[in-house]
């Protein structure tokens, strides 16, 4: 506590209570004790805030890790499901192509389903490559 602050307290006591006091007056021991206790509590509060900040940081890191794991599982599952559906579609398209060839053996045109299958295969391969790169 600065000398100016002490003088301010002394003036307040003099005006309010009409008591002439000095810095050596025992009442200042209460001010000193209050200041010491206050500073100790402030140290404890600072320590608690620091610990709380560390706890929040740790908890946030844990949640982000869990979210990342869950996202990876969901993306992997979706990719596998898409690839399985594409394989099934390829099988069906091959069967349709074979049936179309049998039906029109004299025609030299390639059925439209073959071109659709080709484009879809390229799109899925492109999507898979992007997922692997990211």
Please provide the average confidence, as pLDDT, over all residues in the chain.
83
Tens of pLDDT, residues 44-80 = 999 999 999 999 999 999 999 999 999 888 888 888 8
What pLDDT score was predicted for residue 37?
A: 93
- For residue 6 the two structure tokens come to 């002490």
Q: Decide: pTM greater than 0.75.
A: no
């Amino acid at each position: 506590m600065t000398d100016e602050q002490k003088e301010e307290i002394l003036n307040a006591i003099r005006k309010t209570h009409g008591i002439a006091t000095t810095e050596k007056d025992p009442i200042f021991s209460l001010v000193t004790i209050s200041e010491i206790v206050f500073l100790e509590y402030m140290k404890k509060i600072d320590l608690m805030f620091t610990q709380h900040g560390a706890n929040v940081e740790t908890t946030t890191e844990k949640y982000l890790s869990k979210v990342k794991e869950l996202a990876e599982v969901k993306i992997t599952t979706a990719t596998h499901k898409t690839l399985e559906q594409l394989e099934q579609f390829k099988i069906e398209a091959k069967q349709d192509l074979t049936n179309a060839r049998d039906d029109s053996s004299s025609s030299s045109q390639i059925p439209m389903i073959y071109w659709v299958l080709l484009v879809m295969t390229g799109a899925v391969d492109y999507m898979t490559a992007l997922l692997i790169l990211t």
